[in-house]
A and B are shown apart, each in its own frame.
Chain A
């Protein structure tokens, strides 16, 4: 290939290497990336708007579905904001249970990430092992909360399910098993030459850049930035639990791997401590209010991928006036751009995967900008509908016709 020629390749919105639709436009010279243009917005689901049309109770379940992996993170961040506005004193035991589910979720998320990272560098054995072991924590979550994902453990002013002494024992047993496996993964991560060689020096984000680009979570911590909401602004029961904020100075994908596996070990310690310290008592306040007094609150939560921020504004009714979500991936996306510059195209999948991106969580709003006049405009649903029909007709399809045919075939069946 000629090294002198510059060209652009689009990766996505639909691409076999992407798990979610997202558009990356990569400028290349030969194999080298000159710059990446990331366009978000293909996964916009209108959840924030939908929240305004539902009651707080219903919103918990909707918010929880922002992300399948850090569902508890979003639900807790939201509910904390609501509880702050309404000045609800959540019982101690409920806070501990939230923390417990939060840490179990971190364990499952980090194990999942480790597998995905292995997969992206062609090390599928690691994927199989970690995902097998991840089932242990998934089963525990299903047992504690009633579901493997979207746990639905939070309710306004508490949690919905208590944890029994038998379950405590099960969790401890599972944690022992997981700890043993994680020790093995630490060994793999620190001794396996395949991993070290493939991940070292890839996707470098120096300390200063991490600060400047506002990276969050393991991405920031792997660059030596000790940033962790659990310690900086403790919520739930984190102020009563001992733990270390893991950092690393490798500043590359390898460092991010090390941070995550070590965080797993921290989480096991925390889970044990939570179970030991968990006080007796009620798990939710009596008669949680349906109407939330007017006010606003911001709540932060350290999701497995980094800081998750929720903003809730209430107006005294049963429904929130505004809900705003800033998922951790959005904070890290700019860092990805920086990490990819001047690197090889082949590093792209693992560099993107290393921030553990969740594009569905990130996509929040779309403003359509007129290319020429740079004027932003907002379309109503009907306008958007008409625009799309016009767009397709100009290109020779008639969506209405296709729709009719589709329904006919479906009914004929």
Chain B
């Protein structure tokens, strides 16, 4: 054991200096959701299967839907993505979602505001 301890003293630390050093998540990590309003048909299958009721699909116009996702409620299980037959939802590996103000945890993805939602657009969502 002593030898191992001595060897470890010379090694560089096993931990990262987060947040100065960013963490790279696994390729298919389940982080924040992304919504493609143009693909959604408003069937609400995602709402039915969501275990926490974190996602709400609202009709905002003729065949236009927006999604409100409560990041505080969402458990990032990705079931809504599996349930959606139109591939209107996608899971990204963006994980830095903490907020001091609980109101900011409610993110609305819609037609007009796509990109200018209160959150900055998800990183790592590019396919």
Contacts and interface: CB of A to CB of B under 8 A. Distances in A.
B82 A160 contact: yes
B75 interface: yes
Interface residues of A, number: 25
Given A125-B5, A129-B4, A161 B28 contact: yes
B30 interface: yes
Interface string B54-97: 00000000000000000000011111001100000001000000
B51 A147 contact: no
Contact of A146 (B1, B26, B50, B75): B26
B10 to A, nearest CB: 15
Most B CB within 10 A of own CB, among A57, A147, A152, A160: A147
B75 A61 contact: yes
Contact of B26 (A58, A125, A139): A139
Interface string A139-156: 100110011001010010
A188 B48 CA distance: 52
Contacts of A62: 51
Contacts of B29: 142, 146-147
Interface of B: prevailing SS: loop
B4 A55 contact: no
A161 B4 CA distance: 38
Contacts of B25: 142
B27 interface: yes
Nearest to B76: A147
Given A54-B51, A152-B77, A125 B27 contact: no
A132 interface: yes
A394 B11 CA distance: 60
A406 interface: no
Interface in B24-47: 25-30
A189 to B, nearest CB: 11
Contacts of A386: none
A59 B50 CA distance: 10
Contact of B1 (A55, A65, A125, A142): A125
A113 B79 CA distance: 31
A407 to B, nearest CB: 14
Interface in A111-167: 125, 129, 132, 135, 139, 142-143, 146-147, 150, 152, 155, 160-161
A61 B51 contact: yes
B60 to A, nearest CB: 27
A55 B49 CA distance: 8
Most A CB within 10 A of own CB, among B26, B30, B79: B26
B78 A146 contact: yes
B28 A57 contact: no
Contacts of B5: 125
A67 to B, nearest CB: 15
A65 B51 CA distance: 12
Contacts of A192: 1
A152 B49 contact: no
Contacts of B83: 57
Nearest to A61: B51
Contact of A61 (B1, B26, B48, B79): B79
Contacts of B76: 147
B49 A143 contact: no
B77 A61 contact: yes
Nearest to A125: B5
Contact of A184 (B4, B28, B49, B51): B4
A146 B30 contact: yes
B17 interface: no
Nearest to A146: B30
A160 B77 CA distance: 11
B126 interface: no
B77 A143 contact: no
Interface string B4-25: 1100100000100000000001
Contacts of A55: 48-49
Given A61-B79, A147-B76, 13 more contacts: A55-B49, A57-B83, A58-B51, A61-B77, A125-B5, A129-B4, A132-B14, A135-B14, A142-B25, A143-B27, A146-B78, A160-B82, A192-B1
Interface of B: 1, 4-5, 8, 14, 25-30, 48-51, 75-79, 82-83, 91
11 contacts: A57-B49, A58-B79, A59-B51, A61-B79, A125-B5, A143-B27, A146-B78, A147-B30, A152-B77, A152-B79, A161-B28
